[in-house]
């Protein structure tokens, strides 16, 4: 019996690596002779860079940058050959900002721009792969753009700070000094446009502290209009990470790809699935968003294409989200308080995997 375990992170409880290890340990306990191969996955959000490192190796690089509210911090990214792999959350992640300091009107993505410049200037990379997700920002990538050479001006021709509260007054933009970048690949797991009822501000703004969604949406529209980005704003994924998807397309010449698909190709996941008898995947929550580009759904589709059964293991599973899988287990079915499930996640997941293996 050969099994491939390809899990994403259980947010707040386990990294993708830890989740795969917990399941593998449970399988070995329940069926000692089983062969288990582990392939931690990610879809572009937190853990994306680590998943690439686990698969491909490379050199970790630490650079000085800024967090979403302008405080000095250090962020690390990966250099693999001539490619830099990074995630925006390493510089401008929501979890880096204390709840009482979360003010999206005064947050920006300057730290991401600094990371990109560091990769180009210090390491001469020929490709940058940047994962989106977990952002504290809602600035359409304006902060990043200014770090790369753009400038926004008010009606009097005065330069503006690249934060939404200032950019509300923007009347023009100069993109002529943007630095030349290598190929930029944007790994994204959502399909939202920049603006409107399904856009960055409406769908993701409130979880970052946006109180007036209409006003914030109008600010993003202003950024789009003064910089001539109307066409780009409609692209699926432009609204990712507070509109950083738009910013990377418009200001950095980026190309949006599904984060899971890109990583699956790098991991040769299809070939590895074809070589096993069973696939196990999962993440912290399988819900309505799972089918919209999330890793476990991608794993399930690949397994089905190879005619292999696929089992899902998750912290919680919403009704309907289980339909892509042959069998499924949710830690929430144990009836434990959420805090306990999170704290004991590794042990509980191992026990669930053992339960599955004992049936073989």
* pLDDT of the residue at 201: 97
- Integer Cα distance of 314 and 7 in angstroms: 9
List for the chain the helix, strand, coil content (%; round to 5): 45, 20, 35
Please tell me what DSSP assigns to residue 38: E
* pLDDT of the residue at 289: 65
- SS3 labels along 71-94: CEEEEEEEEECCEEEEECHHHHEH
Residues of the chain with pLDDT under 50: none
Q: What is the pLDDT of residues 19-31, one digit of tens each?
A: 999 999 999 999 9
Choose the CATH number for 48-259 among 3.40.30.10, 3.90.1510.10, 3.10.20.30, 3.40.250.10: 3.90.1510.10
End-to-end CA distance of the chain: 9
Domain boundaries, the chain: 2-40+268-357, 48-259
* pLDDT of the residue at 253: 97
* pLDDT of the residue at 199: 97
Q: CA nearest 54: which of 82, 88, 26, 20?
A: 20
* pLDDT of the residue at 248: 98
* pTM for this model (two decimals): 0.85
Q: Any long-range contacts for 125-128 (C-beta under 8 Å, 24+ apart)?
A: 125/79, 125/82, 125/83, 125/84, 125/182, 126/82, 126/83, 126/182, 126/183, 127/82, 127/83, 127/84, 127/182, 127/183, 127/184, 127/185, 128/83, 128/84, 128/86, 128/181, 128/182, 128/183, 128/184, 128/185
Cβ(103)–Cβ(213) under 8 Å?
no
Q: CA nearest 129: which of 256, 33, 2?
A: 256
**344, HSE (Cβ side, Cα atoms, 13 Å):** 13
The helix-helix angle for 213-227 and 240-252 (nearest 10°) equals 10
* pLDDT of the residue at 321: 86
Please tell me what DSSP assigns to residue 178: P
In the chain, beta strands by DSSP E: 2-7, 35-38, 59-66, 72-80, 83-87, 127-131, 151-153, 172-174, 183-188, 255-258, 278-282, 285-286, 310-314, 316-317, 327-330
* pLDDT of the residue at 180: 95
Which CATH superfamily does the domain covering 2-40+268-357 fall into?
Answer: Glycerate kinase; domain 1 (3.40.50.10350)
Measure Cα distances from 220 to 9, 104, 188, 283, 297 in Å. 31, 12, 19, 32, 31
Question: Do the domains 2-40+268-357 and 48-259 sit in the same CATH topology, yes or no?
Answer: no
Q: CA nearest 104: which of 4, 202, 238?
A: 202
Q: What is the pLDDT of residues 256-313, one digit of tens each?
A: 998 888 989 988 999 999 999 999 999 999 986 665 657 899 999 999 999 999 999 9
**Tokens representing residue 85 in the block:** 């792999």
Cβ(51)–Cβ(74) under 8 Å?
no
Q: What is the DSSP string of 228-283?
A: T-HHHHTSTTTTHHHHHHHHHHHHH--EEEEHHHHHHHHHTHHHHHHTSSEEEEE-
* pLDDT of the residue at 292: 60
**Tokens representing residue 166 in the block:** 């200032």
Cβ(292)–Cβ(73) under 8 Å?
no
* pLDDT of the residue at 210: 96
């Amino acid at each position: 019996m050969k099994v491939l375990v390809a899990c994403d992170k259980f947010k707040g409880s386990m990294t993708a690596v830890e989740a795969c290890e917990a399941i593998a340990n449970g399988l070995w306990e329940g069926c000692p002779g089983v062969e288990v191969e582990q392939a931690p996955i990610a879809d572009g959000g937190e853990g994306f860079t680590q998943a690439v490192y686990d698969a491909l190796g490379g050199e970790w690089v630490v650079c000085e940058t800024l967090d979403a509210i302008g405080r000095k911090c250090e962020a690390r990214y990966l250099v693999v050959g001539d490619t830099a792999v990074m995630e925006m959350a390493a510089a401008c992640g929501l979890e880096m900002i204390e709840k009482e300091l979360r003010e999206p009107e005064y947050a920006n993505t300057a730290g991401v721009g600094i990371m990109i410049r560091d990769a180009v200037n210090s390491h001469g990379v020929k490709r940058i792969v940047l994962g989106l997700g977990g952002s504290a920002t809602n600035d359409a990538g304006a902060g990043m753009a200014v770090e790369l050479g753009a400038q926004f001006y008010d009606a009097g021709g005065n330069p503006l700070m690249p934060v939404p509260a200032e950019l509300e007054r923007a009347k023009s933009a100069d993109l002529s000094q943007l630095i030349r970048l290598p190929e930029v690949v944007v790994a994204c797991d959502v399909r939202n446009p920049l603006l409107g009822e399904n856009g960055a501000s409406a769908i993701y703004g409130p979880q970052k502290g946006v109180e007036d969604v209409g006003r914030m949406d109008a600010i993003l529209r202003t950024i789009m209009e003064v910089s001539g980005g109307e066409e780009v704003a409609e692209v699926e994924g432009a609204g990712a990470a507070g509109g950083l998807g738009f910013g990377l397309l418009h200001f950095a010449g980026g190309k949006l790809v599904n984060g899971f698909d890109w990583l699956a190709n790098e991991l040769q996941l299809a070939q590895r699935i074809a070589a096993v008898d069973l696939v196990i995947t999962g993440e912290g929550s399988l819900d309505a968003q799972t089918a919209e580009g999330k890793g476990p759904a991608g794993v399930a589709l690949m397994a089905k294409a190879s005619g292999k059964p696929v089992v899902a293991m998750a912290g919680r599973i919403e009704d309907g989200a289980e339909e892509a899988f042959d069998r499924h287990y949710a830690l929430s079915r144990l009836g434990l308080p959420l805090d306990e499930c999170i704290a004991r996640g590794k042990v509980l997941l191992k026990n669930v995997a053992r339960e599955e293996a004992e049936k073989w």
